[in-house]
């Protein structure tokens, strides 16, 4: 019989322990995300996978915000974040700090997500764009490349928080759980 | 310079072509999902990855529903679905049809998602449960096993639509994109 694990069995970190624990060398940049519910959901994903930090840009809502809290479920307390009005400037800054900046976007030269292998010792930033228009051309100009999630349907688009989750999972799996 | 692909370049299938195209041997069972926005988001993921069909159970909202349509963006037209009041009955039915039924849940004997390898020729059903309480004990009793998404944060939970996206992606990657 399948028996659920109790919260005490899940090995959750305390908020304080999490702040000093090893983070994934990955920053998520959210550019012009319209829905605060999506922002909250990305906060939750960032907590779950110990993402280094979030950079919220443009019209993306910032905490404190009722709808972010609704889906973030406390993870705004555990995930580091900053706000930058212009994504282009934030990406320039990240690149000057040595981050490799990759858009999660359907671009002519994008690499299929499953073929992406994070390079050891390199810190990455993944850029996620607006729900309708995706990563803006202005932001793409400051990216080193793009990763694309292959899709096989009629709509050819995923919810942005789901796309972020898949991209971060793939990074975690290859970076932290490699060999499995 | 990174240049976005135009919709015509994305190889999207028409709604008619999608109906006859090869589907992933994977059914998603949504049991007692409280948020219709999450249901819509899962429809969109199911379209993107050509999931066979959805089985909506219990309190899970069904189309037509304003909030489902808000996040499904037309994918309720392309994804097959049915409704079953009791998840346990739906899972018994799936097992009698030969599906291997796996809960996406933190269970004592769960297999880490990255270690899961879909068996060729086997059709699977993944069960996703309520946002607060997860997959119910009643539904777990009709599962062949459970898959767990490893997490490293303080909250130890992902949004259910994000968890569904990650689990389906892992299935797609291993089943359809294997070797990559």
Separation between Cα atoms, residue A72 and residue A56, nearest integer Å:
15
**What residues of chain A lie within 8 A of the CB of B129, using their CB?**
none
Q: Which domain holds residue A163?
A: 17-149+156-175
Sheet holding B111-112, edge to edge: B81-84, B51-57, B24-31, B124-128, B100-104, B145-148, B111-112
> Does residue B134 lie in a domain region?
yes
Interface test with B, best of A15, A17, A42, A48 (most B CBs within 10 A): A48
pLDDT confidence of B18, banded at 50, 70, 90? low
Question: What residue in A sits closest to B48 (Cα-Cα)?
Answer: A153
- pLDDT computed for residue B35 by the predictor: 97
Residue ranges in chain A modelled with pLDDT below 70: 8, 12, 15-20, 179-180
**What residues of chain B lie within 8 A of the CB of A3, using their CB?**
107-109, 140
- Digit-coded pLDDT (tens) for A58-101: 999 999 999 999 999 999 999 999 999 999 999 999 999 999 99
Which CATH number does the domain housing residue A32 bear? 3.40.1280.10
CA atoms within 13 A on the CB side of A167: 29
* Range list of H helices, B24-73: 36-48, 66-72
> Does residue B6 lie in a domain region?
no
CA atoms within 13 A on the CB side of B120: 2
Chain-chain contact of B12 with A140 (C-beta, under 8 angstroms):
no
The DSSP H or E segment spanning B137 is helix B137-140
Retrieve residue A82's tokens.
């900053």
> Does residue B84 lie in a domain region?
yes
> Does residue B133 lie in a domain region?
yes
Query: A4 in helix, strand or coil?
Result: strand
**A133 CB-near residues (< 8 Å, 6+ apart):** A32
Chain-chain contact of A112 with B180 (C-beta, under 8 angstroms):
yes
8 Å CB contact between B33 and A175:
no
* Beta strands per DSSP E along A113-152: 124-128, 145-148
Q: What is the pTM of this model?
A: 0.94
- Digit-coded pLDDT (tens) for A26-35: 999 999 999 9
Separation between Cα atoms, residue B136 and residue B140, nearest integer Å:
6
> Does residue B44 lie in a domain region?
yes
**What residues of chain B lie within 8 A of the CB of A141, using their CB?**
1-2
B6 has pLDDT over 80: no
> Does residue A12 lie in a domain region?
no
Separation between Cα atoms, residue A40 and residue B158, nearest integer Å:
11
> Does residue B4 lie in a domain region?
no
Closest CB to B161 among A17, A143, A162: A162
Q: How many domains does chain A have?
A: 1
- pLDDT computed for residue A118 by the predictor: 96
> Does residue B180 lie in a domain region?
no
Note the residue count of chain A: 180
Q: Does ipTM surpass 0.85 in this model?
A: yes
- Digit-coded pLDDT (tens) for B111-167: 999 999 999 999 999 999 999 999 999 999 999 999 999 999 987 789 999 999 999
Closest CB to B106 among A4, A146, A149: A4
């Amino acid at each position: 019989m399948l028996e659920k694990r109790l919260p005490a069995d899940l090995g959750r970190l305390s908020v304080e322990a999490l702040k000093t624990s090893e983070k994934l060398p990955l920053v998520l940049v959210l550019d012009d995300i319209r829905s605060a519910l999506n922002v909250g959901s990305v906060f939750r994903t960032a907590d779950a996978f110990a993402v280094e930090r979030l950079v919220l840009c443009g019209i993306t809502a910032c905490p404190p915000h009722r709808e972010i809290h609704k889906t973030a479920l406390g993870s705004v307390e555990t995930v580091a974040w900053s706000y930058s009005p212009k994504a282009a400037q934030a990406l320039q800054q990240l690149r000057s700090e040595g981050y490799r900046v990759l858009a999660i976007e359907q671009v002519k030269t994008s690499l299929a997500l499953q073929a992406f292998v994070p390079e050891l010792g390199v810190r990455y930033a993944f850029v996620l764009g607006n729900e309708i228009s995706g990563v803006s051309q202005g932001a793409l100009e400051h990216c080193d490349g793009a990763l694309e999630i292959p899709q096989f349907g009629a709509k050819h688009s995923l919810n942005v928080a789901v796309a972020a989750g898949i991209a971060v999972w793939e990074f975690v799996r290859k970076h932290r759980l490699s060999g499995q």
